[in-house]
Amino acid sequence: MLAVKDKATELLEAQLPRVRAKLEERLGPTTRELIGDDALMTRCLGEAYEFLPAPVRMMVKRERFVSFCLERRDRLIAA
C-alpha cells in the first residue's frame, strides 16, 4: 500500500505546476491574498482537479488531491 501512496504523491508533485497555472488563471492577481481562504481554495482546487490528466484522476481521488494541495499551498504561489 505504501508504494501506491508514494506513486500517488509522485504523480501529484509532478502536477503542481499545472495546478499553479489553473489557480492563477482562476484567481488572477489576487492569488497571494486568497490562497489563505480554505473554502475558496478547496473550491478552486476541486475545479483544477478536472484538468489533471485522466490517469492521475483515476489513481488519486479528488479529496486526496485537494488535501495534498492545501498542505503545499505555499508552493502553489508563483515566485
Q: In this predicted structure, what is the pLDDT of residue 61?
A: 93
Res. 79: pLDDT tops 60: no
Q: Secondary structure of the chain in the HEC alphabet?
A: CHHHHHHHHHHHHHHHHHHHHHHHHHHHHHHHHHCCCHHHHHHHHHHHHCCCCHHHHHHCCHHHHHHHHHHCHHHHCCC
Enumerate the domain spans of the chain. 2-76
> What pLDDT sits at residue 64?
93
pTM, two decimal places: 0.79
pLDDT tens per residue, range 34-66: 777 889 889 888 988 999 999 889 989 999 999
Give yes or no for a contact between 15 and 75, defined as CB atoms under 8 angstroms apart. Answer: no
Look at residue 75 in the predicted model and tell me its pLDDT.
Answer: 83
